[in-house]
Amino acid sequence: MTKQAVLFDLDGTLLHTVPDLAAAVNAMLVDLGKPVLPEETVAVYVGKGAENLVNRSLTGSMTEKASPELYAQAMANWQNHYTHINGNHSVFYPGVKEGLALLKNAGIKLAVVTNKPERFTQPLLERTGIADYFEVMVGGDTCPVKKPDPMPVTHACKLLGVEPSQALMIGDSVNDALAARAAGVECWLLPYGYNEGRSVHETPCDGIVNTIEEAAQRLLGTRVPQ
């Protein structure tokens, strides 16, 4: 085993958080007198931080931005709703807690590297009971830039005291893969998360694993159940 640390994305990797995100988005839209969105649509909008989620929800576009005035009002409303909703409906994906336990017990250093703002990330980890697994948490506003920029990944490695070559990134999207690759960190992707409507099988990465538990077993050299 050559890896000393594993960095995890959060939304779509450790937790299915779209029910919370969609509830906050739709409460925001109702406040603004706009029609609500299906959860499936909100899931496609997730991936590049709260700013993009709010803009995409307002415009129905992956790239267009709302007017500054509308965006400011919508973001304030969304943050207010999400603060109270965050963690209420989120659920673990199969094998997450088992995989985290395997890695932690093996002495692997663990970190969360997410585009979710810090003010929402730490409470979510605490409310779901997994905060103690992680030595480091890098949120979407910890660094000046978010994934797919490599800076958050590099920052996490520095905080953990490991070289990029000694770390593994596990995520669910092209943002994780691009950030890890640019940072010199190996990246494995999961097929079940939020990849902006695209399949991870179309995303260049170093491997695809079905669960966090399978990733832990593979990393530790133990047998993966068939």
Closest CA to 189 of 198, 49, 158, 66: 198
* Cα dihedral 186, 189, 195, 199 sign: positive
Q: What is the DSSP string of 120-185?
A: HHHHHHHHTT-GGG-SEEE-TTTSSS-TTSSHHHHHHHHHHT--GGGEEEEESSHHHHHHHHHHT-
Cα gap 177→159, rounded to integer Å = 20
Instruction: Dump the DSSP string for 34-100.
Output: -----HHHHHHH-SS-HHHHHHHHHHSSSS----HHHHHHHHHHHHHHHHHHTTSS-EEPTTHHHHH
Name the maximum alpha-carbon separation found in the chain.
Answer: 55
Q: Is 9 annotated as catalytic?
A: yes
Q: Which of 9, 11, 20, 172 is catalytic?
A: 9
| Three-class SS state of 14 | coil
Catalytic residues: 9
